[in-house]
Amino acid sequence: MDTLPVAPLLAVWVVLILWSALFTAIEAAQQHLLAQRKASRATDKPLATLNFALISLVLCNTFCRTLAVVIGTLLAIFAWLENGPWAAWLGTSVALLVFADYLPRSLASRHPDSVLGVGNALLGVPLKIVYPLAWLLNAISQLLLRPFARKASVVVQSDDEMPTPPRNEHEPEHSGGRLHPISGIHALDNITVNDILVPRSEVDGINLDDPIGEIIEQLRLNRR
């Protein structure tokens, strides 16, 4: 530790934070443009896209941040000995949050096209080279999530689509066609004008002078 090259390590630490800031800005710009693309119309100007996989960007960003923490810890231990670890944790956390997270995200939200263009120009080839490693790690994560995929689908079904309760034998046939409110809300996407406007020929009148029992029975049997 007495011969630790402080100046080169400090320079590497700064470069790692700058690279991490670039990776974060590109990822934030991509998310911002994806949100704009969903809200845009077909006649709008096409938005910029990434020329490489996003998982490669996440891999390099993670490596840069991890290596920055390691180098920051070494420098802090060299400077403050036993107080070095907590000083490295505090200093590196503040530097990463300010310069590699908050600042690049704000910049990417203001100029997403420019940030994405810089990323495609600088990182297109390097991130394609590390893509096999990123793909392997992503495949491992997908493999670990596979046992939970079926359980997750069951939970979604139980929350969104409750099963239809069993119909009583004495209930009329049309009562079995009632849908869950969530299913009715989803069906609004396919509704047409004919479903809203009812022809007069399909409207049945009710005589209010009839006994209340007959009126209730007519309301149960008639659709209109």
pLDDT of residue 88: 86
Most confident of 76-80, 112-116, 132-136, 171-175: 132-136
What is the mean pLDDT of the segment spanning 146-155?
Answer: 65
Q: Which amino acid is at 28?
A: A
Token digits for 120? 């495609």
**Phi/psi class of residue 202: alpha, beta or left (left: φ > 0; alpha: ψ in -120 to 50)?**
alpha
Each residue of 175-211: pLDDT tens digit? Answer: 444 445 555 566 666 666 666 666 666 666 777 777 7
Which whole number is the average pLDDT over 69-97?
Answer: 87
pTM: 0.61
Record the tokens describing residue 129, joined without a space: 């080279």
Is residue 30 within 8 Å of residue 123, measured between CB atoms?
no
pLDDT tens-place string over residues 48-72: 677 888 899 999 999 999 999 999 9
Report the distance separating Cα 115 and Cα 29, nearest Å.
7
Token readout for 96 is 């990463």
Which DSSP letter does residue 83 get?
Answer: G
Q: Give me the pLDDT at residue 175, please.
A: 46
Q: How many CB atoms lie within 10 A of CB 180?
A: 14
Mean pLDDT for 121-147 is 91
Distance CA 186, CA 215 (A): 32
Are 207 and 217 a contacting pair, CB within 8 Å? no
Give the up-direction half-sphere exposure of residue 215: CA atoms within 13 A in the CB hemisphere.
7
Domain boundaries along the sequence of the chain: 6-129, 175-221
